[in-house]
Amino acid sequence: MENIKYKHHNFTKHLTENNISERIKEIAEILNKSYKDKNPIIVGVLNGCVFFMMDLLKKCNFDYEISFISAKSYKGTKRGKLSVEEIDESFHDRDIILVEDIIDSGETIKEIYSRFTDMNPVSIKVITLLHKNIATDIDMIDCLTAFDIENKFVIGYGLDYNNLFRNLKDIYIDNE
């Protein structure tokens, strides 16, 4: 499937399952070297990170703990009010790896990063599948990006349009 038409959107395949898998392997190799003796807490930002995070963790060969946090800022393709759930665990004196599906404007990851920074961790690293070129003012965040993309709406591989299309194995970009 190369194109998907939905409502007034025309999505074209942008990244294949193979592209994604190869990049995940590269990122896991970096993490395996960096965290081999550290036992970090890996925190996924729900819901979009799940496919990416699980595929990444399958390739990580160090000890880790898993946690999740929920953050939302979209309704359909429109950016809305940012909502981030409260963090009720202690991350004091721990290495934290935040796993995101996409850094869009950068506002969500800055808010989450700030909340974790307030807990005095040893370190915080952000791993993101996609990073839009409009995300600015996040230079203070230690971030490892799988793919940089232009400022267009994307679906597939965990990314959704009103909770649809998360199950696609490839990533599609909206041409509208």
Written as six digits, the tokens of 120 are: 């005095």
Question: By the 8 A CB rule, do 141 and 127 touch?
Answer: no
- Cα–Cα distance for residue pair 95/161, rounded to 1 Å: 33
Backbone angles phi, psi at 33, to 5 degrees: -75, -40
Written as six digits, the tokens of 138 are: 């996040």
Strands 123-132, 143-149: pairing kind:
parallel
Catalytic site positions: 104
Query: Quick check: bond before 47 cis, omega within 30?
Result: yes
Closest CA to 86 of 61, 55, 118: 118
Total residue count of the chain as it appears in this document: 176
